[in-house]
Amino acid sequence: MSTVASEPLLHLCSRKPSFHSHKPIPLRPFFLPTCSSNLNDASVIFHQPRRTLSPVHAVSLADTPTLHPLQCPQTITHTFEIDRTQTAVGKIFVRLDHGKDLKDWELTVRCSLPGKWILHWGVTHVDDVGREWDQPPLDMIPPGSVPIKDYAIETPLKKSALSAEGDTLPEIRIDLKAKFGISAIHFVLKDEETGDWYKNKSRDFVVSLVDYIRADSDTSIIEPKRGFDFWPGNLGQISKIFSKSKADENESSESRVPERESNQPDGFYEEVYVTKKVLISNSVTVSTKKCFESGAVKDILYVETDLPGDVVLHWGVCRNDTKRWEVPRSPYPPGTVPFKERALRTPLWPSPDGKGSSAQITLEEEFSGFVFVLKQNKDTWFKYLGNDFYVPLSSPIKLLNSSSKDDLSEGVQIEKPSQENSFFAFTDTVAYEMRNLVSDNSSDKNQKKKSKKVQQSIFEEIERLAAEAYNIFRSSIPSFSKPTTAKPEATNVEPETTIVVPEASVESEALSLEPKICSGTGTGHEILCQGFNWESNVSGRWYMKLKEIASELASIGFTVVWLPPPTESVSPEGYMPKDLYNLNSRYGNIDELKDLVKRFHEVGIKVLGDAVLNHRCAHYQNKNGVWNIFGGCLDWDDRAVVSDDPHFQGRGNTSSGDSFHAAPNIDHSQEFVRKDLKEWLCWLRKEIGYDGWRLDFVRGFWGGYVKDYIEASEPYFAVGEYWDSLSYRNDETDYNQDAHRQRIVDWINATKGTSGAFDVTTKGILHAALEKCEYWRLSDENGNPPGVIGWWPSRAVTFIENHDTGSTQGHWRFPSGKEMIGYAYILTHPGTPSIFYDHIFSRYKTEIASLISLRRRNGIHCRSTVQISKAERDVYAAIIDEKVAMKIGPGHFEPPSGSLKWSLAIEGKHYEIWEAS
């Protein structure tokens, strides 16, 4: 077990919009001067994508369109969330008191700092010579404890103690009975909110109970306080060690070393100072409004923040997308002073209630954006990803050509949607964004005619917004009587096989006038987090842990999380399911799962359930002693088992795929099996709230059955695990892996494109390229990416590691030390990237968050275009959507100079990424 030092939690979130239940952020009413316009009321808050910042600048943005009842007509409010940290100092208390029987004792551990504290502990018995850390006797284990293998116990501290201020403190009490002969208790404290372990300078805390441990122990002993001496009976002198945590090693204060006495003990007590970085969430809002005054259109801005202390707004305006600062004409808010003729500094005035501060700014309507940074208490600056906050000043209605207030009434009117109808609230927002795109393309009379590529990108964005609106509309419709499927488009024909790639068919359905059942392919902008590893079941509290870090995952930028299998299982990891309707698993119970899903939805993250449909473990044996009879809610007999697996003597039809020999393979050709599985998936969607599926071992059954299951359960997103071996020759990975990706594409096509698949081909080729510095492998014979993303990117879920390949299994581990090179590739390329839990909460977290932020900032999605610039021995480089240039490998590359100006955005070991300006 390693010790992790506490670090500031400066992570900013990037939430996917949730259009079903909008909870407005509590803001004070913002009343702007009345406009001379007869437009209907409509107020829309845009929470922009949260980004990950450097430790110096902790600012974040949210991304949830919602209606706000407190805002004026046609007011648009941009909310930027600011995460900052402060150091909290507290104490850990350890007390030893007599139990009910004077021969017994009670140990109390308490902490005064906020957090979700876990006591990770074990004991040493008197006769355990040379051994540490044993599980205590059952009578000593408090309720709610979870065993850790065979040597320790984890017990959550519960809020039951009262501090001097009257607050409840988390504590745990452990009964120490003399009959068990316990010689010492060993423990460390873990804060589940941060994942930090609090140890004694890389060693365990030890409450030592006998003399002989003192001399030969690897730990130093602190003698008991005045008034303590010997235990009754044959237990020796009480002694104890306790010192500061890892987080407090560098503090000047030290634990006291009490004097030693020889009187009989009445108890034992010690306090230790500890420190913890506490995350504080604040926000700044900028509300903008177009008003027609004195024959001119003006922008009125109201800036408000709940940051404590003195806050100064350092601000300017800009005229185009370059966001170059300039100083507008006066008048300015009171107290404003110029700064080097390039910016203005305005002190924010404290609010009457003493909570936060604000300022109001009026601008002539000639600027495209408002730029600013914040300065708190003269020494702390808040920025956005090292850059400035930016608020666009474009109007939801075309006002630039208006010369009188009468002209305003002829604009498009936005009706105020009912909060009870989330679809129409969202489509109004989509319509607004579409009008912005068109207005941006034509509003400036002096602007030169835009290129066809720019126009095409605008209309692609309109098409995407329309598809998102339709997906939301479809989710509110119970069923359709006439599902149809567009004819697939065939491309990439090989001599032996044909790749069916219906890339445009799904999108055309979304724009069709007649509602059709869409596939579970999301919007194309998803970023997936695998929310567990192979050992996540060990604690028995995984759902509770994820619930605590849900907001952090959102702050990093994830829009979808994949949860482990929820069902009762023969194996603790969940991949040997038994009773499908029993959702009490090693990860937690059904109520904890529901709470977890609800929490993810609150922070704007969709949730995928891990559905194991290929096989199921039986409850009973048949007359031959073979386990193939099922119980529980789905009490199938051996007709549900395929007949060609000799291990389980099934009476069904032959399998439509490969066998998984560890458990009975289910015969999906049986109508009763398909009916039951469809009902189960629909039940999970309704009862638990899953938004989609990760489908396990889909190589074991025909993709056409998957199509039936997806059409029945209508998931937002689905991905199948179609996993088989790449092509090798003389232990070398073949350059041409077309046959491998062909098999994955064939399975996707069997689902009629209703499900994506993990891009195992891309992972394998990255292995070969990075292990031997052979980056030429990252371009196929046609100059395209060589994985599934080169043929069918909108159905490819890219990844470099998962619970099977990484974690403690390590079946196909990514080249060590080169993980960030792999993430630099998949997070800049098309497809839907999936990030492994172990990498998120590791030293890679900041780099991964920066890459996610760049992907979202530049709108890279599953269908983005890739222009490969180099694929040589020591370097691979590509330009994506003419917005991002990237290179991986030790070789040299710089993006070409020309019409696009490139600036280096992210740099790491053997990878660099540029953004176009």
Q: Three-state SS for 363?
A: strand
Neighbouring C-beta atoms of residue 669, cutoff 10 Å: 16
608 exposed, middle or buried (CB, 10 Å; 0-12, 13-18, 19+)?
Answer: buried
Task: Kindly provide the residue ranges of all beta strands, DSSP E only, lying in 262-336, ordered along the sequence.
Answer: 267-293, 296-305, 311-318
Short-list 663, 724, 668, 673, CA closest to 701: 668
Strands (E), 368-514: 369-376, 380-382, 389-392, 490-493, 498-500
Residue reference for tokens 């107020």: 43
Q: Taking phi first (over 0 means left), then psi (-120 to 50 degrees means alpha), and beta for anything else, what does residue 149 get?
A: left
Residues 247, 251, 252: CA angle, nearest 5 degrees: 160
| Consecutive H or E run containing 66 | strand 66-67
Cα–Cα distance measured from residue 385 to residue 59, given in angstroms and rounded to the nearest whole number: 8
Strands of 69-145 (E only): list them. Answer: 75-98, 105-111, 117-125
Neighbour tally for 473: CB within 10 Å? 16
In Å, what is the CA distance from 740 to each residue of 156, 212, 575, 637, 686? Answer: 48, 64, 25, 36, 37
What is the spatial distance between Cα 418 and Cα 425, in angstroms, rounded to a whole number? 7
Kind and range of the H or E element at 695? Answer: strand 692-695
Alpha-carbon Rg for the chain in angstroms: 31
**Strand (E) positions, 786-910?**
796-798, 832-836, 866-871, 876-880, 884-888, 902-908
For residue 506, give Cα distances in angstroms to 125, 423, 630: 66, 21, 38
CB atoms within 10 A of CB 469: 21
- In which residue are the tokens 């995460």 written? 83
**Which residue is it, tokens 């403190």?**
169
Identify the three-state secondary structure at position 760: helix
C-alpha 163/C-alpha 141 separation (Å) is: 25
Q: Which residues are the active-site residues?
A: 696, 721
How many other C-beta atoms can be found within 10 angstroms of the C-beta atom of residue 804? 16
Per DSSP, the residues of 777-821 read GGS-TTSS-SSGGGT-GGGEEE-S--TTTSTTT-TTPPPTT-HHH
Distances (CA, A) of 309 to 10, 306, 377: 20, 9, 6
Cis amide leading into 331 (omega within 30): yes
Assess contact for 641 and 627: CB atoms under 8 A.
no
Please tell me the distance from the alpha carbon of residue 126 to that of residue 103, in angstroms, as a whole number. 16
Cα 821–chain centre separation? 20
- 912, β-bridge pairs: 887, 907
CA 521 to the chain's CA centroid: 18
Distances (CA, A) of 344 to 26, 168, 338, 377: 29, 47, 4, 17
Residue in the structure block whose two tokens are 């390039």? 342
Q: Is there a contact between 789 and 745 (Cβ–Cβ < 8 Å)?
A: no
Cβ count near 805 (within 10 Å): 20
Nearest Cα to 523, choosing from 452, 584, 489, 475?
475
